[in-house]
Amino acid sequence: MRATCLPPKFGRGVVPVASRPVLGHQPQKSAPRLAATGVVMPISDYILRSFRLNDPTDRGPVIDAVRAAGFSIENIQEDMRHPQKWGLILKPNRRLSELFRLDREVLLWCSTYPRFQARDIDDMKVVLSRMGVRLSRSFAILVSRYDPHTRSRVEAESSLDTTIVHCSFDELSAKRPGDEPALQRILLDRLYVRDLYDLPSAAIKAADFFGRRDTIDDIADELITGQSQVGVFGLRKIGKTSLTNRVTESVAQSGRCIVAKIDLQWTTSIDPRPEYTLWALGEALYASGRVARSTKGLKLFGQYATATDAISAGLSVWEAFAHDLTAIIHASSRRVVIAVDEIERLFELPDKSSFVRLWRVLRGLDQQFPGRLKYLISGTSPECAESATISGLDNPLYRYLSIRYLGPLDPRDAQDLLVNLGSPIGLRWTNEGLSYALEQTGGHPALLRTLGSLVHSSLLPRHEAVDVVRNHAVLAARSMVSAHSAVLAQVTASLEDQYPDEFVMLKMLAEGQVYNFRMLASEYVDEMSHLIGYGLLPDGDRSEALSIGLLQSYLQARQDRPQEGPGTPVLRVGDHVGGRVIVARIRSGGFADVLVAQDEKGEKVAVKAFRAARLSALEREVEYLQSLSHPGIVRFIEATQAPGGVPCIVMEYLEGSTLADMCNATLSPDTASFLSIASRLLDALSYMHPSASGAAALMENSELTPGGFEDWERLRYGVVHRDIKPENIIIADRGPVLIDFNISVRAADPVQTISSTPGYLPPDFNGISWTPDVDIFQLGVTLAQLAAGARFDGENLKDLLTLAGGRHGDVVGSWLRTLVADSDRPTASDAKVGLPRTGN
Helix, strand, coil: what percent of the chain each, to 5? 45, 15, 40
CB 794 within 8 A of CB 735: no
Indicate the helix (H) or strand (E) that contains 736.
strand 735-738
pLDDT score recorded for residue 755: 46
Instruction: Look at 481-490, 509-518, 720-729 and tell me which has the smallest mean pLDDT.
Output: 481-490
- Give the residue-averaged pLDDT of 566-583: 77
Question: Which is nearest to 549 in space by CA: 627, 626, 436, 648?
Answer: 436
Query: Distance between CA atoms of 832 and 16, rounded to whole angstroms?
Result: 43
Bond prior to 370 in cis (omega within 30° of 0): no
pLDDT score recorded for residue 38: 37
Judge whether residue 155 has pLDDT over 80: no
Q: Is 174 helix (H, G, I), strand (E, B) or coil?
A: coil
Instruction: Look at 122-131, 164-173, 687-696, 708-717 and tell me which has the smallest mean pLDDT.
Output: 708-717
- Max CA distance (Å), the chain: 91
Query: Distance between CA atoms of 498 and 519, rounded to whole angstroms?
Result: 22
Residue-wise pLDDT tens digits, 410-430: 999 999 999 999 998 999 999
CATH architecture of 411-484: Orthogonal Bundle (1.10)
Residues contacting 768, CB < 8 A, separation 6+: 271, 272, 273, 752
Residue 750: C-alpha distances to residues 105, 279, 448, 715 (Å): 48, 20, 29, 21
Average per-residue pLDDT for the chain: 85
CB 454 within 8 A of CB 479: yes
Q: What is the DSSP string of 333-391?
A: SSEEEEEEE-THHHHTSS-THHHHHHHHHHHHHHHHSTTTEEEEEEES-THHHH-SEET
Query: Distance between CA atoms of 788 and 567, rounded to whole angstroms?
Result: 38
- Give the residue-averaged pLDDT of 603-629: 82
Which is more confidently placed, 28 or 476? Answer: 476
> Order of strands, edge to edge, in the sheet holding 657-658?
657-658, 729-732, 735-738
Bond prior to 763 in cis (omega within 30° of 0): no
CB 480 within 8 A of CB 472: no
Judge whether residue 124 has pLDDT over 50: yes
Domain positions in the chain are: 15-191, 213-405, 411-484, 487-559, 576-652, 657-833
Query: Distance between CA atoms of 159 and 532, rounded to whole angstroms?
Result: 42
Domain at 576-652: CATH code: 3.30.200.20
401-405 and 729-732 strand pairing:
unpaired
Judge whether residue 563 has pLDDT over 60: no
| Full-model pTM | 0.80
Which is more confidently placed, 80 or 278? Answer: 278
Band of residue 160 on the pLDDT scale cut at 50, 70, 90: low
Query: Residue 505: what residue type?
Result: M
Residues contacting 237, CB < 8 A, separation 6+: 444, 445, 446, 447, 487, 490, 491
CB 577 within 8 A of CB 561: no
Strand-pairing partners, residue 703, are: 289
- Give the residue-averaged pLDDT of 58-70: 91
Residues contacting 266, CB < 8 A, separation 6+: 280, 624, 713, 714, 717
Residue-wise pLDDT tens digits, 215-244: 999 999 999 999 999 999 999 889 998 999
Which is more confidently placed, 3 or 52? Answer: 52
- Give the residue-averaged pLDDT of 363-372: 95
Judge whether residue 459 has pLDDT over 60: yes
CATH architecture of 657-833: Orthogonal Bundle (1.10)
How many CB atoms lie under 10 A from the CB of residue 55?
15
Band of residue 715 on the pLDDT scale cut at 50, 70, 90: confident
Which is more confidently placed, 37 or 550? Answer: 550
Judge whether residue 178 has pLDDT over 70: no
CATH class assigned to 213-405: alpha beta
Question: Which is nearest to 196 in space by CA: 137, 121, 253?
Answer: 137
> Order of strands, edge to edge, in the sheet holding 139-144?
15-16, 71-78, 85-92, 106-111, 139-144, 163-168
pLDDT score recorded for residue 653: 93
pLDDT score recorded for residue 151: 64
